[in-house]
């Protein structure tokens, strides 16, 4: 079995690669973005024609936190649409029968009922800070469903909640909240600062899943028997939520990270920064009924991620 993992140097792609390597019974195909720019249609088609993978895991994307999404909307919609169109179409042309692509919980309407079930897709307006990225991710689901309906492929989609873990991006502005807070609280604890500022009101709630759980869920969904997948999904509502099933406020999260990094000063809020969606909790019952549950508790996962962060030298702080 030859499996192409697109985005293998990223946080999720890297975790998937490690789990596939540990299983050891696959031939893994990888390319960095410098070797193969997935926004380049001709290059992607040539790569697929030459490598002819049996399966594809699409974990390559333009990814970032709330401010990155708000600052670079053109890149978020263009690059993600191009990557999805090129990879999914080239996979089809090369005869790839099975593919798994990763979306995001931001596909759901800003005011979706909580927890958000798969059926909430396309039922209302999106959160404006990440609408371009969300539109691209919705297109990814619809690409898979359309190829399945017209060409009989078996292309599946998982929708991760907010992820974190080793391999995360710790950029001070462009990263997601958890790596941003780990970095900021660590630097404050080291320097003896008496205050750390977090963005927004601290009131939004987010659900976090460790990347090793996400990688395990991805391989679980990819490996599901086609009849079981079909029995638990619908042809035009085929994506599967992946989450931990519980959420926490950003303020509570900041207090947890402060405790783990040893910061004892005060935590204040910068109201000029956006809150984004007030709550994004996944309904994970579809995945649960197929037999998968997350296993890494948030505090344990953050401690492990902080230990990994401490192994990085300053130049390696992933200033993507």
Ligand X SMILES: C[C@H]1O[C@H](OP(=O)(O)OP(=O)(O)OC[C@H]2O[C@@H](n3cnc4c(=O)[nH]c(N)nc43)[C@H](O)[C@@H]2O)[C@@H](O)[C@@H](O)C1=O
Q: Cβ–Cβ contacts within 10 Å for residue 158, how many?
A: 21
Q: Describe the strand order of the beta sheet including 98-102 as a list of residue ranges.
A: 27-29, 2-6, 55-58, 98-102, 154-160, 240-242
176 binds ligand NDP (CB under 6 A): yes
160 binds ligand NDP (CB under 6 A): yes
Residue 44 marked as a ligand binder? no
90 binds ligand NDP (CB under 6 A): no
Which of ligand NDP, ligand X, none does residue 61 bind to, with CB < 5 to 8 Å depending on kind?
Answer: ligand NDP
Which of ligand NDP, ligand X, none does residue 9 bind to, with CB < 5 to 8 Å depending on kind?
Answer: ligand NDP
Taking the C-alpha atoms of residue 193 and residue 263, their distance in angstroms, rounded to an integer, is 8
Which of ligand NDP, ligand X, none does residue 199 bind to, with CB < 5 to 8 Å depending on kind?
Answer: ligand X
Which of ligand NDP, ligand X, none does residue 62 bind to, with CB < 5 to 8 Å depending on kind?
Answer: ligand NDP
Taking the C-alpha atoms of residue 241 and residue 244, their distance in angstroms, rounded to an integer, is 10
Determine the angle formed by the axes of helices 211-223 and 11-23, rounding to 10 degrees. Answer: 60
Active site residue 133: yes
Handedness of CA 318, 99, 48, 89 (dihedral sign): negative
Catalytic residue (choose from 4, 92, 108, 133): 133
Residue 163 marked as a ligand binder? yes
- Looking at residue 117, the DSSP 8-state letter turns out to be P
12 binds ligand X (CB under 6 A): no
Taking the C-alpha atoms of residue 137 and residue 135, their distance in angstroms, rounded to an integer, is 5
59 binds ligand NDP (CB under 6 A): yes
Q: Please report, as ranges, the residues that interact with ligand X according to CB under 6 A.
A: 64-66, 69, 104, 106, 130, 133, 162, 175-177, 180-181, 198-200, 204, 206, 250, 273-276
């Amino acid at each position: 079995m030859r499996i192409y993992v697109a985005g293998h140097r990223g946080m999720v792609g890297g975790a998937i690669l490690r789990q596939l390597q540990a299983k050891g019974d696959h031939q893994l195909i990888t390319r960095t973005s410098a070797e193969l720019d997935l926004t380049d249609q001709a290059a992607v088609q040539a790569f697929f024609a030459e490598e002819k993978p049996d399966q594809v895991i699409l974990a390559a994307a333009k990814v970032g936190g709330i401010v990155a999404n708000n600052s670079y909307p053109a890149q978020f919609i263009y690059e993600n649409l191009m990557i999805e169109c090129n990879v999914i179409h080239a996979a089809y042309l090369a005869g790839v029968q099975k593919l798994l692509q990763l979306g995001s919980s931001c596909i759901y309407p800003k005011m979706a009922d909580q927890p958000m079930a798969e059926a909430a897709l396309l039922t209302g307006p999106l959160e404006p800070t990440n609408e371009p990225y969300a539109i691209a991710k919705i297109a990814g689901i619809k690409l898979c469903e359309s190829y399945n309906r017209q060409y009989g492929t078996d292309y599946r989609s998982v929708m991760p909640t907010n992820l974190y873990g080793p391999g995360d991006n710790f950029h001070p502005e462009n990263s997601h909240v958890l790596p941003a807070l780990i970095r900021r609280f660590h630097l404050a604890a080291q320097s003896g600062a008496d205050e750390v500022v977090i963005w927004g009101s601290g009131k939004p709630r987010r659900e976090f899943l460790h990347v090793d759980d996400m990688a395990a869920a991805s391989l679980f969904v990819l490996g599901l028997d086609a009849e079981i997948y079909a029995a638990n999904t619908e042809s035009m509502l085929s994506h599967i939520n992946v989450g931990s099933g519980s959420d926490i406020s950003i303020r509570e999260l900041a207090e947890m990270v402060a405790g783990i990094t040893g910061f004892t000063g005060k935590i204040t809020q910068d109201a000029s920064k956006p809150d984004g969606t007030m709550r994004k909790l996944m309904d994970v019952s579809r995945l649960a009924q197929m037999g998968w549950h997350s296993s890494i508790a948030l505090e344990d996962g953050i401690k492990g991620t902080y230990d990994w962060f401490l192994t990085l030298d300053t130049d390696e702080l992933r200033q993507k």
